[in-house]
């Protein structure tokens, strides 16, 4: 009883923090968790039913794991999984470190006005939709676009960027555009963490003769390391979410095989010609289970390495 009494006391002490979190919690509960257990629409149970548009959920027949077996036997599914893995692991390798570097560099800008200008420039692309960004890309990368005109001037050749069936060119465009759009926005998290580091640590280091690299290595990096690990764990938990909005606007009839990911594949299954929502629900449930397993695995590895994970601090062995 005392345990729950202590928990209630801590909740009451932080009541204003929980009050601020209430709208966010309500958003996730209403739009993410309640649909899972919605009796009228079936929720995740739709993956085990045979969807028929002219019947209610309770009138649809139970088919068990039929849709999962069909999904795993589709050659297109494994191609889609490979594309998703290429893009997701590429994001972790190439995109994830860039906001960290940018935040550290911005923190080293001593002129406050210049720092605000740079931060605004880097953050602005986040507020642009992928539809607009893809329109700009087409103007730049078409056969007669600016980039190909420059290439033709110096090499006499052009590159079909937007209609290339090969994976490398498409992955290059995916990573470059995503870095340009999201880096400044994600860097805000690290900048906020850096601002919480005790400034007297930097002053003491300067008195001891530490240069900028030493201060970054021994003060800034340890100060943001726990946040970096936390975001890395969350990114591992979203490994199969390869960016629906971006890929949906980038893919076309030529590069579809190279850019089709699990999210766009599920979308096609749910709203394409077959309109098989049970099949799409099975694919979505498979993706959710894998993401959740990867999230727990990444969190466990972080704990084993002695880092702070999602639910507490690990113990170094």
CATH topology assigned to domain 68-304: MetI-like fold (1.10.3720)
Lowest mean pLDDT of 240-244, 247-251, 304-308, name the range.
304-308
Q: What percent of the chain has pLDDT over 90?
A: 20
What's the chain look like in SS3?
CHHHHHHHHHHHHCHHHHHHHHHHHHHHHHHHHHHHHCCCCCHHHHHHECCCCCCCHHHCCECCCHHHHHHHCCHHHHHHHHHHHHHHHHHHHHHCHHHHHHHHHHHCCCCHHHHHHHHHHHHHHHHCCHHHHHHHHHHHHCCCCHHHHHHHHHHCCCCCCCCCCCHHHHHHHHHHHHHHHHHHHHHHHHHHHHHCCCHHHHHHHHHCCCCHHHHHHHHHHHHHHHHHHHHHHHHHCCCCCCCHHHHHHHCCCCCHHHHCCHHHHHHHHHHCCCCCHHHHHHHHHHHHHHHHHHHHHHHHHHHHCCCECCCCECCCC
**The pLDDT of residue 178:** 92
| Cα–Cα distance for residue pair 245/263, rounded to 1 Å | 9
Residue that wins the pLDDT comparison between 309 and 124: 124
Is the pLDDT reported for residue 200 higher than 50?
yes
pLDDT at 182: 92
**How sure is the predictor about 273, in pLDDT bands with cuts at 50, 70 and 90?**
low
Stretch among 77-86, 101-110, 267-276 having the lowest mean pLDDT: 267-276
* pLDDT average, residue stretch 55-61: 75
The pLDDT value given to residue 149? 83
Query: Would you state the pLDDT for residue 316?
Result: 44
The tens digit of pLDDT for each residue in 100-120 reads: 999 999 998 888 888 889 999
């Amino acid at each position: 009883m005392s345990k729950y009494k202590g928990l209630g006391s801590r909740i009451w002490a932080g009541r204003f923090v929980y009050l601020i979190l209430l709208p966010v919690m309500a958003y996730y509960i209403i739009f993410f968790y309640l649909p899972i257990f919605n009796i009228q629409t079936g929720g995740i149970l739709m993956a085990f039913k045979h969807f028929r548009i002219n019947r209610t959920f309770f009138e649809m027949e139970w088919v068990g794991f039929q849709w999962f077996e069909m999904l795993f036997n589709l050659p297109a599914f494994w191609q889609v999984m490979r594309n998703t893995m290429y893009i997701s692991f590429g994001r972790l390798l190439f995109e994830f470190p860039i906001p960290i570097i940018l935040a550290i560099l911005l923190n080293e800008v001593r002129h406050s006005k210049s720092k605000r200008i740079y931060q605004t420039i880097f953050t602005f692309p986040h507020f642009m939709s992928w539809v607009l960004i893809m329109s700009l890309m087409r103007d730049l990368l078409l056969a007669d676009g600016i980039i190909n005109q420059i290439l033709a001037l110096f090499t006499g050749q052009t590159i079909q960027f937007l209609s290339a069936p090969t994976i490398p060119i498409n992955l290059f465009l995916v990573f470059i555009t995503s870095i340009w759009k999201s880096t400044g926005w994600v860097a805000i998290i690290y900048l906020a963490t850096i601002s919480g580091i005790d400034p007297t640590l930097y002053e003491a280091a300067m008195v001891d003769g530490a240069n900028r690299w030493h201060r970054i290595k021994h003060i800034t990096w340890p100060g943001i390391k726990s946040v970096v690990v936390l975001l890395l764990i969350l990114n591992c938990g979203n490994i199969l979410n390869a960016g629906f909005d971006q890929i949906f606007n980038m893919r076309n009839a030529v590069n579809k095989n190279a850019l089709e990911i699990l999210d766009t594949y599920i979308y096609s299954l749910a709203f394409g010609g077959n309109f098989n929502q049970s099949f799409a629900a099975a694919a979505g449930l498979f993706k959710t289970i894998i993401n959740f397993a990867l999230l727990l695995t990444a969190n466990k590895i972080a704990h084993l390495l002695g880092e702070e994970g999602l639910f507490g601090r690990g113990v170094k062995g």
